[in-house]
Amino acid sequence: MLKVVHYINQFFANIGGEEKADYPVEVREGEVVGPGMAFKQAFGEEAEIVATIICGDSYFNENLDKAKAEIIEIVKKYNPDVFVAGPAFNAGRYGVACGTICDAVQEELGIPAVTGMYTENPGADMFKNKVYTVATKNSAAGMRKAVGSMAPLALKLAKHEKIGASCQEGYMPNGVRVNFFEEKRGSKRAVEMLLKKIAGKPFETEYPMPTFDRVAPNPAVKDLSKATIALVTSGGIVPKGNPDHIESSNASKYGEYSIAGVDDLTEETFETAHGGYDPVYANEDPDRVLPVDVLREMEKEGKIGKLYDKFYTTVGNGTAVASAKAFAEEFAPKMKADGVDAVILTST
Amino acid sequence: MYSASAEVSRPFLIGGAMKKDYRIITNNPLVREKLGQDHDVEFYDCSYEDVLKKVKEEVCKGYKLLTHPLSGSVKPNETPYKSVMVSRKSGETDLMGIEIIERAIASVSKFQFKSDKYAPQVYEDFRLIDYTLISSALPSADAW
Amino acid sequence: MRLEVGHIFIKDIQFGTESKIEDGVLYVSEEAVKEVVLEDEHIKSVKFDIARPGESVRITPVKDVIEPRVKVEGRGGVFPGVISKVDTVGEGKTYALKGMAVVTAGKIVGFQEGIIDMTGPGADYTPFSKLNNFVVVCEPVDGIKQHEYEAAVRFAGFRVAVYLGELARELTPDETKVYETYGIKEGMEKLPGLPRVAYVQMLQSQGLLHDTYVYGVDAKKTLSTIINPTEVMDGAIVSGNCVSACDKNPTYVHENNPVVHDLFEEHGKTINFVCQILTNENVYLADKQRSSDWTAKLCRLLDLDAVIVSQEGFGNPDTDLIMNCKKIEAEGVKTVIITDEYAGRDGKSQSLADADVAADAVVTGGNANQVVVLPKLDKVIGTLDYVNTIAGGNEHSLREDGTIEVEIQAITGATNETGFGYLSAR
């Protein structure tokens, strides 16, 4: 019989809600907990859940490296054929935890993993291209349906069978195009899609066009010598020691730091948190990524009115577009309120 | 970046004919042989991909892309030959052209490289096909 | 315009002393059909063969696939401007030999492609494995140029198809389908309130081995134009296109255009199928612009509500497709486009060479870079000499055990962009 290890959070383990979110990693050997019951039923005689790992969402996300290491150790011990996490539905931190731990199990142990969550769960955007992520409803009311897709997919992965196209297996499109034979020929599907489009009914394209957010440029700054200029970077420049622990990849947060009175970023005061490029040159002189020195000079020469005394920073390394968008939506109004006229965005 | 040096044949002005406002960038000897005398043909002894990169350089300099770089259904890395037409005069940046040439370059890596695996006769066929593809653009280009 | 198409089911093909159709069996006199092929002085010799569904047979390299038809009533004859005179076709009565095709095969250029397997996994990918195929393999005279040879084989295929179609002239069809379209005003009166829909077909038109002919006119020299969909059923469009086997349209696909057929299914019920618009896929970018402008303009002039746009071939037609889609949508006409993908062997690359948000309704014929292993089959019609060099193959394609590892782009019709097949991708 195939072996499965199942990961769930404190809520689905019936331990408690937000007040118990700091619940540490716990393993229950041979025990099927919460949604595990539905999986057990779906697996039938083919697979059994050999252990259930429970972890509070806050505990996981606030002690990321530690929690990850603990869970990896446990999974390693049971050496399952497949690892299942969730489903997390619309619970954001749970979804991120499921994606993170599935990704780690696959990368570090070479054990295939599957999770499930609502398409708008931030964990989906972050991990759907790395981990088979079944699209679920936005609440636990969709448990049956979620397990109905996750369990067969888990069995296929455990047996190293060929995985079909996303629409057949129920996982979210993951950037890998997979061929399969439809029941109707292409022209028939085209006519049916056209009829829906004409009638204004929802239809599903078979190939979503790659879309890029096009941002219409603002009109040019009229007089630079009177403008307040801000610096924002995805190059990961942070005060030495990375006080807010911005992740080296898949950043879930950004930092706001003062550069009031700072003329030059030095090796002693700043560094990069970015894990996606060789940090030597950025650490040696962080101005190379966040050009505070040059802008201070221009400020003195009167070329620009003023350098804004705060900068915003995150790590662009694999960070979800949705997260990046959310960061900017938060800090852009602050800059606007402070009278920033223009922003220089630097990347790496 | 391009080890090959360009041999540029300039068009003869026959009977006071207008000088054509296009040039053909190619690595296809047959195009040079057949069109070199009456057309502005820039020949490079380089790969298919390098022809596209050369074209991109030109388009980035402000020359207009005049033919589709993925002309024909013979796949990149299958045929070693490519001929692309760009304008002779530079002007405003051809944004659509830049987009097209960039996508074309990106598509090359999707195909397995086997341009060097054919019997000699097959190369003649590839040269001929590329020549007919670029030739099909001449009537429209000459109509300007 | 009203066309009746009588179907005559051919359940088997056999060689015989006399060419005839009897009880659904097509008997072909080799002597007689040889004469038809050798009319052309460019052809030195010809061989015929028969490949039936399920047989352990591989046909390669395939040039064209053609369905034999004969015009029994109404103006003109099949393949107007190519075999018959240029009279307008598309009305009256036409008989088609269903369940069979004439397949022309043989090497025109050294990288010739196109595989039809009659059994095994390869057969799943080609729609032509389900037909009884009468295969014509022509040898050219010495010293012939490639373009002369291409034309000779192209015409030989049509002549054979017409010769076989003629055998059905006096027969009674097994079933009859009726297709009727109306004039602009007539249609609005007869089908009030139904959305006005057309089919925009893009034709490959770029040079040797990349050409399509409409009433005998090379499509690259045409402006976008209107044709009655019943005209294509009489062979108004023929293929001279031999490159990119998976997504080129053989003549068979033009005669049996699936978009035309499936739009007719809805004609008078949920839509008013107004007409077919033909446009080309030229090399010169200004031609692309002009043709797509013209297509969008026609859609507007015809007061259409929606269109289906189909594509042919790899790479640069993606640009035509997106231009057409964008401009037609900009006229307020809704579109669905049909394409195929080159997403790389791992399926991870950008599928198309162009993209636009206006293309929000796409049907795909699948990823042409997908690798498939074809088993060794007992018999090869044509030659395996080129398997290593065809698109989607490599120097290891033909393996020692006789199996072939290729991308499905080498298989005739595998990812057809008129929606002829069932393959798709997500």
How large is the ipTM? 0.96
In this prediction, residue C110 carries a pLDDT of 75
CA distances from B95 to B91, B121, C293 (A): 12, 39, 19
The residue out of A169, A191, A215 marking a domain boundary is: A169
**SS3 for chain A, per residue?**
CEEEEEEEECCCCCCCCHHHCCCCCEEEECCCCCCHHHHHHHHCCCEEEEEEEEECHHHHHHCHHHHHHHHHHHHHHHCCCEEEECCCCCCHHHHHHHHHHHHHHHHHHCCCEEEEEECCCHHHHHHCCCCEEEEECCCHHHHHHHHHHHHHHHHHHHCCCCCCCHHHHCECCCCCCCEEECCCCHHHHHHHHHHHHHHCCCCCCCCCCCCCCCCCCCCCCCCHHHCEEEEEECECEEECCCCCCCCCCCCCCCEEEECCCCCCCCCCCEEECCCCCCCHHHHHCHHHCCCHHHHHHHHHHCCCCEEEEEEEECECCCCCHHHHHHHHHHHHHHHHHCCCCEEEEECC
Is C349 close to B109, i.e. CB distance below 8 A? yes
Q: What is the predicted pLDDT for the residue at B8? A: 47
Indicate if the pLDDT at residue C7 is higher than 90: yes
Residues in C 58-97 with any Cβ partner in A closer than 8 A: none
Inside any domain, residue A138: yes
Can you give the pLDDT at residue B6? 46
d(CA C287, CA C281): 8
Task: Tell me which residue range forms the domain holding C186.
Answer: 2-410
Smallest CA–CA distance from B64 into chain C, residue: C285
Look at residue B9 and tell me whether its pLDDT is greater than 60.
Answer: no
Nearest to C110 among B97, B118, B136 (CB): B118
C-chain CB neighbours of A208 within 8 Å are 362
Q: Domain count for chain C, please give it.
A: 1
Q: Quick check: C263 pLDDT over 80?
A: yes
Q: Most B CBs within 10 Å: which of C109, C209, C218, C284, as the mutation test of the B interface?
A: C284
In this model, does residue C17 exceed pLDDT 70? yes
Dig out the tokens for A185 from the structure. Answer: 């020929």
**CA nearest to C259 within chain A:** A187
What is the pLDDT at residue C388? 61
Are A14 and A155 contained in the same domain? Answer: yes
Is it the case that residue B18 has pLDDT exceeding 60? no
Inter-chain CB proximity C367 and A179 less than 8 Å: yes
What single DSSP character describes residue C98? E
- The answer to whether B39 and B7 have CB atoms below 8 angstroms apart is no
Shared domain check, A36 and A113 = yes
Residue C385, pLDDT > 80, answer no
In a domain, A251, yes or no: yes
Amino acid making up residue A204? E
Note the pLDDT tens digit of each residue in C147-164. Answer: 899 999 999 999 999 999
Strands C306-310 and C196-204: parallel
DSSP secondary-structure letter at B51?
A: H
Whether A and B touch, i.e. at least 3 CB pairs below 8 A, reads as: no
Domain identity same for A13 and A116: yes
Number of domains within chain A: 2
Of B72, B96, B124, the CB nearest to C207: B72
Cβ pair A32, A12 in contact under 8 A: no
Q: Do B129 and C209 touch (CB under 8 A)?
A: yes
What CA–CA distance (Å, rounded) separates C24 from C30? 19
Q: Is residue C22 part of a domain?
A: yes
Interchain pair C391, B74: CB under 8 A = yes
Cα-based distances in Å from C239 to A265, C215, C217, C276, C425: 67, 11, 11, 17, 27
How large is the average pLDDT for residues C127-150? Answer: 93
Tokens, residue C184: 């602009």
Rounded mean pLDDT of C256-279?
98
Residue that finishes a domain, picked among A169, A188, A207: A169
Does residue C415 form part of some domain? Answer: no
Which residues 198-217 in chain A show a CB within 8 A of chain C?
Answer: 198, 203, 205-211
Q: Which residue has the tokens 């072909």?
A: C28
Identify whether residues A143 and A256 lie together within a single domain: no
- Contacts of residue B143, defined as CB under 8 A and 6 or more positions apart, other chains included, come to none
pLDDT tens sequence across C190-205: 999 999 999 999 999 9
The predicted pLDDT at position C267 comes to 98
- Band of pLDDT at residue B120, cut at 50, 70 and 90: confident
pLDDT surpassing 80 at residue A211: no
Residue C417 lies in a domain: no
At residue C3 the predicted structure's pLDDT band, cuts being 50, 70 and 90, is very high
User: What pLDDT is stored for residue C109 in this prediction?
Assistant: 81
pLDDT reading at A227 higher than 50: yes
Pair C199, C263: CB distance under 8 Å: yes
Residue A258 lies in a domain: yes
Residue at which a domain ends, from A169, A192, A210: A169
Optimal mutation site among B21, B66, B110, B144, interface C, most CBs of chain C within 10 A: B110
Q: Rounded mean pLDDT of A49-62?
A: 95
Query: Lowest-pLDDT range, A165-169, A344-348, C31-35?
Result: A344-348
pLDDT on residue B19? 59
Model-level pTM? 0.84
How far is it, in rounded angstroms, from Cα B82 to Cα C302?
40
Percent of chain A with pLDDT over 70: 98
Q: What is the pLDDT of residue C389?
A: 59
Contacts of B28 in chain C (CB under 8 A): none
- Whether A210 maps to a domain, the answer reads no
**Quick one: pLDDT band at residue C393, thresholds 50, 70, 90?**
low
Mean pLDDT (whole number) for A98-120: 97
Per-residue pLDDT of A234-291, as tens digits, reads 999 999 999 999 988 778 899 999 999 999 999 999 999 998 888 999 999 999 999 9
CB atoms C206 and B122 under 8 Å: no
Would the pLDDT of A318 be above 80?
no
- A148-198 pLDDT, tens digit per residue, is 999 999 999 999 999 999 999 999 999 999 999 999 999 999 999 999 999
Q: Which of C206, C313, C342 sits opposite B107 (nearest CB)?
A: C342
Using the predicted structure, report yes or no on whether residue B58 has a pLDDT greater than 70.
yes
Residue-range definition of the domain harbouring residue A101? 2-169
B86 touches chain C (CB under 8 A): no
pLDDT of C401 over the 90 cut: no
- Which among C421, C414, C366, C358 is positioned nearest to C390, based on CA atoms? C414
Q: Is the pLDDT of residue C34 over 80?
A: yes
Residues 6+ apart with CB under 8 A from A240: A268, A269, A270, A271
Long-range own/partner contacts, residues A204-207 (CB < 8 A, 24 or more apart) = A205/C360, A205/C361, A205/C362, A206/C362, A206/C363, A206/C364, A206/C424, A206/C425, A206/C426, A207/C339, A207/C341, A207/C351, A207/C352, A207/C362, A207/C364, A207/C425
| Residue carrying structure tokens 């196109």 | C114
Q: Is A263 left (phi over 0), alpha (psi -120 to 50) or beta?
A: alpha
Residues A55 and A119 in one domain: yes
In angstroms, the CA A143 to CA A41 distance is 13
Report whether pLDDT(B12) > 50. Answer: no
Average pLDDT over chain C reads: 94
What is the tens place of the pLDDT at every residue in A63-84?
999 999 999 999 999 999 999 9
Burial of A149 (0-12, 13-18, 19+ CB in 10 A): buried
A152 with A7, same domain: the answer is yes
Per-residue pLDDT at B14: 45
Is the pLDDT reported for residue A319 higher than 80?
no
A143-147, B98-102, C250-254, C415-419 — which is least confidently predicted?
B98-102
Q: What is the pLDDT of residue C395?
A: 61
Active site residue C242: yes
Beta bridge partners of C51: C133
- A193 interaction partners in chain C (CB closer than 8 Å): 336, 361, 363
Tell me: do A258 and A163 sit in the same domain: no
A320 within domain boundaries = yes
Q: State residue B102 phi and psi, 5-degree precision.
A: -65, -40
pLDDT for the residue numbered A212: 66
